[in-house]
Amino acid sequence: MKSLAQLCKPRQSVFDHNRRDVVLDLTDLAEGHIDPSEFFEENYCTAGMQHLWREAFRRFAGKSPQGVFVLSQAMGGGKTHNMITLGLLARHPELRHAVLGDLYEPATDAGEVRVVAFTGRESDAPLGIWGAIAEQLGKRELFKDYYSPLAAPGQKAWVNLLRGKPLLILLDELPPTSRTPAPSSSATQISPW
């Protein structure tokens, strides 16, 4: 019987001292600090990821009514990782065929998808969650009446903000309230706009 060392060969990057403490979060995605080609070279795509991708791209193409995906696992269960992979595929259509393989369906390819991401780790966001979303969409002024004092925008304001090309909204590590997922959950909102 072969040993584990004979059966598995770790990637060289595992031994890179500069990368040992690297833990990606949605801020890295939002700020464009992740090289998508390098990311997918180093990651294994699970069946759960593939299911999320398939359903998300069906939604982008208008072929599915499901627009919200709540990812719920124990701490360290891969929620953020799943959101980063979906965000990278949404933002970089040129990678879809190579990464998705047999899952790639040209009929569900919506082209480039706008991606906004917010993590509750950014608890000092001066304009709140909605301000961060508006800012990433380049529409900060559209929500100017909700910043001081902070007030929640209504449905019509959100529709006006989100209108346009397909949009992926990724929310992670939100504090528990009566209106947000529990801390061990993350939400992925896929908008038809």
Question: Mind listing the pLDDT tens digit for each residue in 95-125?
Answer: 988 888 887 777 677 788 999 999 888 777 8
Does residue 151 form part of some domain?
yes
CA distance 127 to 61: 32
What average pLDDT does the structure give for the chain?
82
User: How many domains, the chain?
Assistant: 1
Q: Which domain, by its residues, includes 63? A: 23-191
Does residue 1 form part of some domain?
no
User: What's the CATH number where 141 sits?
Assistant: 3.40.50
Q: What are phi and psi of 177, to 5 degrees?
A: -145, 180
β 167-172/114-119 pair status: parallel
∠ at Cα 20 (86, 72), nearest 5°? 35
pTM for this structure? 0.78
For the chain, give the percent of residues with pLDDT over 90.
Answer: 31
Does residue 5 form part of some domain?
no
Does residue 45 form part of some domain?
yes
**Range 26-57 burial, b when 16+ CB lie within 10 A, else e:** bebbbeeeeebeebbeeeeeeeebbebbbbbb
Q: How many CB atoms lie within 10 A of CB 65?
A: 8
Question: Mind listing the pLDDT tens digit for each residue in 124-178?
Answer: 788 888 899 999 999 999 999 998 888 889 999 999 999 988 999 999 887 665 4
